[in-house]
Amino acid sequence: MQFAGLVVVGIIMLVFLGVQGLKLQFFFGVIIPYLALVVFCLGLIGRVVKWGRSPVPFSIPTVHGQQKSLPWIKASAIDSPVTTAGVVARLALEVLFFRSLFKNVKAELGEGRRLTFTWEKWLWLAGLLFHWSFLVVIFRHLRFFTEPVPAVVHSLGSLDGFFQVGLQAFFITDLIILATVLYLLLRRVCIPQMRYISLPADYFPLFVIFGIALSGISMRYFFKVDIAAVKKLAMGLVTFKPVLPEGIGVIFYIHLFLVCVLFAYFPFSKLMHMAGIFMAPTRNLANDSRARRHVNPWNYPVKVHTYADYEAEFGRKMEEAGLPVENSQAKVS
């Protein structure tokens, strides 16, 4: 954890020295965002193509309910889907509401070394709030990259900022992101089992996201930044006509660089579960192994000795031994 935190602090200091001391605003404001976007796109495509080319020799959907079998046994259409519609519904509930995480339980040894299971809902709630808040924040930021700004973006910003603090709206998603990231970080630190299996790669994105949220909140409520200049810079980037307006403080470049680091790091980290959920055979396959045989398309041709061939070869001996013979030709031979 300390290593990941020191790396993020080092990144912040690097940007501060580069902007304040070396005047590298163009490098951090134009070149780095384009490089991060290229790395993100190429990395994302590469990971998805690699997953798509990986063989799936078995039907291995993970299920939480009764598979469809006999008519008088009630099956679970979503938890154990047998149709494409059931798979789509299951994936939608997983992506939008983290349904499998909602069913997560925690096993503990109680009195007398008795194993007990309890629902673990705080992790589900923190994960759900974090992802939805992050999505809302991304949509809110579209006002910097579009002109005119879509009405839905205005409406979302008004709904998110219904709390008024002084003359400025307070976005509730900002507080939620900080709180949930802090919870996920403390969870890895305070729970011995989680701390034992956690690696620097698990802490690093949490520190980066925390730095992004903290720098964004600082720009909005404490260190004022010229919003018109920021939008001019953003519009120049998306139209591939980059400009570097004057009056943008160093806190903005820290915020932007941390976002670029997250984008570039994304395809090579566990954050790729965003795309991996759709490529996972445990989620995107129907549980229809009782109704349809799953044939491995990568099997090489194998010469087999069928029962019919067995009877053709040993039919007379089977008949002489009193064994039943199904093939009439084998009986005559």
- Residue 77 phi/psi, 5° resolution? -70, -25
pLDDT tens-digit profile of 140-166? 999 999 888 888 888 888 888 776 655
- Sequence-distant contacts of 147-154: CB under 8 A, at least 24 apart: 147/235
C-alpha to C-alpha distances, 7 to 117, 210, 258, 322, nearest whole angstrom? 38, 13, 11, 80
Cα(141)–Cα(143) distance, rounded to whole angstroms?
5
pTM, two decimals, is: 0.83
The confidence score (pLDDT) of residue 330 equals 44
Burial of 264 (0-12, 13-18, 19+ CB in 10 A): middle
pLDDT tens-digit profile of 82-126? 999 999 999 999 999 998 888 887 777 777 777 777 777 888 999
pLDDT band at residue 137, thresholds of 50, 70 and 90?
A: very high
Which residue type is seen at 296?
Answer: N
pLDDT tens-digit profile of 223-256? 878 888 999 999 999 999 988 888 788 999 999 9
Q: Which residues contact 96 (CB under 8 A, 6 or more apart)?
A: none
Q: Which residues contact 206 (CB under 8 A, 6 or more apart)?
A: 4, 181, 184, 185, 188
Cα(226)–Cα(1) distance, rounded to whole angstroms?
35
Cα(153)–Cα(30) distance, rounded to whole angstroms?
25
Strands (E), the chain: 105-109, 115-119, 163-165, 168-170
* CATH architecture, domain 2-294: Up-down Bundle (1.20)
The confidence score (pLDDT) of residue 322 equals 81
Are 171 and 140 within 8 A, CB to CB?
yes
Answer yes or no: is pLDDT of 281 > 80: yes
Cα(234)–Cα(215) distance, rounded to whole angstroms?
17
Hey, is 163 helix, strand or coil? strand
The confidence score (pLDDT) of residue 165 equals 57
Q: Give the residue range(s) of CATH 1.20.950.20 domains in the chain.
A: 2-294
DSSP string, 292-332: S----TTPPP-----HHHHHHHHHHHHHHTT-----HHHHH
Answer yes or no: is pLDDT of 329 > 60: no
Give the pLDDT mean for 197-206.
Answer: 92
Average pLDDT of the chain, as a whole number: 87
pLDDT band at residue 324, thresholds of 50, 70 and 90?
A: confident
